[in-house]
Amino acid sequence: MSKHYLSIEGVNKTFGKGNKETRVLKNVNLHINKGEYISIIGHSGCGKSTVLNIVAGLLSSTQGAVILDGREVNSPGPDRSVVFQNHSLLPWLTVYENVALAVNKTFKKTKTAAQRHDWILKSLEMVHMSHALHQRPDEISGGMKQRVGIARALAMEPKVLLLDEPFGALDALTRAHLQDEVMKIQSEINSTIIMITHDVDEAVLLSDRIVMMTNGPEATIGEILEIDLPKPRNRIEMADDPTYNRYRREVLRFLHEKQRKVEVFSSSSPKVEKSAPTGVTKKVATA
């Protein structure tokens, strides 16, 4: 049995069958300790979200396994909460009711009604949404909706919080504020977090380790970069920190080299004919 809190062991994932079979992931191995903040970064199509969905139990691996706290992950469960880029709030429910839905489902047998009510309020307080308890999603901003989505996920007290580009659809200022909130919450409750991102600065600012994926098909982990910077981190101070900027260059170097290799493959591969439609060539280059 793995000694790590969360282990991804030899995971492969294949979609399709026969001539249409594509192996998206090949031999992905990752060991995560309790309380770690892990970011997974890579080019589009490298299987980042596929890895996240396998950990969430939304997809099954073709080979390999995910072990969380000594138990194999085979299906979705309240021990793994997911926050997507789209907030996924139910539009006919208020802010309070959206969080209550998750809390009542998860803790119906273990918390009293009064305890559940207090926990809902506490969860919304953590993301500074106590003022909007009775508003519906169409009455609040995009950033506020995402705050509620994060509160709902945290309110389930998951063993692992899974973030799938949670700030990707937000403006820069709102994104920065929410990043700071997540940093603060993680430091307070020691959550174990896996985040998918395309943003290099976001990955370096938030993470304990950055997992860099190779390009697909048959994507795997290319490098893992440990971010040895004290927490909490101040984004203004980090901008002039030489260590921060060295980490940032390391990630950019990896991403640039992987993209360059794909472009070379695309230009030299005999499988891509000059007369092929643009969409076909692009698919081969960035799969």
pLDDT in tens, 69-95: 999 998 999 899 999 887 789 999 999
Report the C-alpha gap between 248 and 129 in whole angstroms: 33
Architecture of the domain made up of 6-79+158-286: 3-Layer(aba) Sandwich (3.40)
pTM value is 0.84
Choose the weakest-confidence range: 39-43, 219-223, 278-282: 278-282
Please name every residue paired with 22 in a beta bridge, in sequence order, or none if there are none: 15
| Pick from 144, 150, 206: nearest CA to 170 | 144
Torsional sign, CA 184, 212, 247, 44:
negative
Query: Tokens 């200022």 correspond to what residue?
Result: 173
Name the amino acid, one letter, at 37: Y
Assign 143 to helix, strand or coil. helix
Report the C-alpha gap between 161 and 35 in whole angstroms: 10
H-type alpha helices, the chain: 48-56, 95-107, 113-126, 142-155, 172-189, 200-206, 235-238, 242-268, 278-286
Please report which confidence band the pLDDT of residue 171 belongs to, taking 50, 70 and 90 as the band edges: confident
Report the C-alpha gap between 120 and 128 in whole angstroms: 12
Q: Is the pLDDT of residue 278 over 90?
A: no
